[in-house]
Structure 1
Amino acid sequence: MPDKSNTSTINAATFKNAGNTSNNRYTDRSRAKRKFSLKDPGSAITHFIGMVMAVIAAPFLIIKAANVPGNVHVISMVIFILSMICLYGASATYHSLDLTTRTNRILRKIDHMMIFVLIAGSYTPVCLIVLGGSFGRFMFYLVWGIALAGILIKACWITCPKWFSSVLYIGMGWVCILAFTQLLDKLSPAAFAWLLGGGIIYTVGGIIYALKVPLFDLKHKNFGSHEIFHLFVMAGSICHYIFMYCYVVNM
């Protein structure tokens, strides 16, 4: 006949192990559930929609540009639309996934870097097609040089204040002031309006991003000032896509 104390000890150990197994399963389920949930739903969904829209719009712009003799138009438009896809893709990925601290930090850096890529990509057709010549090439090298500098800053200092990031983005976006007279001469009033309108919308979005207006953040936990900033970015992209498709590609 087995010893009662040993039997009790075995039963207790078995119960404890069963409890640990149950807890481990519960933890695994919790992790799995967290892994497949969106980290920032509002931000992830808005820029995922932006990425899908850019992918759908890409072939129409590229095919139209390919019908123009020479390579400048098609190369410029490919750079423009790829910069847009990269920005929205990087943003949607960063705001969707909640992985390790190191991976999240890398995704955040890429997300911020792609803003400089989008700005430079949007300038590319303007520099090479609208402005052209030596001045157009100068502007092209200038904006891409600023973009590379911004990318390096984000690689080394991702925790910089939001106001500093906004100053970089907005300042780079308005480098076109150097070509203000030339743009007025070369663009129709409607084309200039789409270009300027997109720039203004981007700027307003950047200001909202920098200020983090509390009024917006208090309305809904998943849709605050950052998500509104995302909508302004999308609206600015739409304006510049119309500008490229309807006017620049025909020049």
Structure 2
Amino acid sequence: MPEKNKTINKHLIEEKFNSITHSIGAGMSIAGLIFLIVLTRMNSGGVLRYVSFSLYGAFQIMLYLSSSLTHLFTDYPKIHAPLRVVDQASVYLLIAGTYTPISLIALPDPWGWWVFGIIWGIAFAGILMKTVFLRGRNIASDLLYLPMGWLIIVAFKPLREVSPPGFIMWTILGGGLYTGGIVFYLWKKLPFSHVLWHLFVLAGGISFFLGFAFYLT
């Protein structure tokens, strides 16, 4: 088989695995959202809990679904291009959505509302850069992901003071897994590096979900 054909086949196989991993993530996210809502109802949670978990779950589903479809239609440029933009914008929404239960449920006032406003402000700015001003992948908008993810550092002291150690552990583990996965996201020459990145994202998402399910519902 010519080398070019081998490369194409390898690419298609990797893209198939990329799509499968985040299809699994989408299914898990749907089940997880239902589980959080049921737990909240069983524990007679207030409106903020329902809203927080709904935003978190919806944007997690959106990210995994758009990512899965982006990789599925990688050889169909007219379909792939808009899906790619949605996929990249969904990263901002996932980060802000994950911060929503932390800021509105876990953090005390006024810290919670400050973090909530800042994280969503950055998310909307990033989405505008991705979709309107800079279009698609670019360093300026990509650089926002990491500081967004670790914004909690500015409110870590009040979070630690009011949260159980278990919740802190799952939160740090989730952030660490997301951050650690970036190594594989950038390591383009490593075979199946993007699949490994997806697995780190799944593991990070599971960590945050467990923290929410055990301690915030």
Deviation at 1:55, TM superposition (A): 1.2
Structure 2 gap segments, 5+ residues each: 1-11
In the TM superposition, 1:193-232 aligns within 5 A as: 193-209=169-185, 211-214=186-189, 216-217=190-191, 224-232=192-200
> Percent of aligned positions with the same letter in both sequences?
34
Which secondary structure state, in structure 2, belongs to the residue aligned with residue 133 of structure 1? coil
* Residues 1:238 and 2:206 aligned together: yes
Could you list the per-position Cα deviations for residues 209-248 of structure 1 after superposition, in whole angstroms to 9, with x for gaps in the alignment?
1x2252x22xxxxxx1111110000000000000000012
Match of 1:28 in 2: none
Does residue 92 in structure 1 map to residue 68 in structure 2? yes
Alignment of 1:75-154 (within 5 A): 75-98=51-74, 100-154=76-130
**Letter of the aligned partner of 1:61 in structure 2?**
L
* Distance in 1 of aligned mates of 2:142 and 2:216: 28
Which residue of structure 1 aligns with residue 23 of structure 2?
A: 48
Which protein shows a greater Rg?
1
> Alignment RMSD, CA only?
1.9
Q: How far, CA to CA, are the matches of 2:141 and 2:129 in structure 1?
A: 10
Instruction: Give the drift of 1:135.
Output: 2.0
Q: TM-score, normalised by structure 2?
A: 0.87
One-letter amino acid of the counterpart of residue 236, structure 1: G
Tell me the distance in 1 between the aligned counterparts of 2:176 and 2:109.
27
What TM-score results when the alignment is normalised by the length of structure 1?
0.76
What amino acid is the match of 2:33? A
Cα distance in 1 for partners of 2:198, 2:27 equals: 15
Could you tell me which runs of 5 or more consecutive residues in structure 1 were left unpaired when the two chains were aligned.
1-36, 218-223
Q: Which of 153, 156, 159 matches 2:137? A: 159
Q: Distance in 1 between matches of 2:183 and 2:37?
A: 32
CA shift, 1:89, in A, is 0.7
Q: Tell me how many residue pairs correspond in the alignment.
A: 203
Match of 2:161 in 1: 185
Moved more, 234-243 or 165-174: 165-174
**Which segment drifts farther, 183-192 or 95-104?**
95-104
Partner SS state of residue 159, structure 1: coil
| Pairwise CA distance, 1:159 | 3.3
Residues 134-190 of structure 1: CA distance to partner in whole angstroms, max 9, x if unpaired?
Answer: 2211110110111111111111431314xx555321111001111010111111111
Question: Which SS does the other structure have where 1:40 is aligned?
Answer: helix
Q: Which has the larger displacement, 177-186 or 37-46?
A: 37-46
For the residues of structure 1 that align with 2:141 and 2:181, how far apart are their CA atoms? 13
Deviations along 1:42-86, one digit per CA (max 9) or x if unpaired, are 110000011111112221111111233421111111111111111
**Greater Cα offset, 178-187 or 229-238:** 178-187
Q: One-letter code of the match for 1:47? A: H
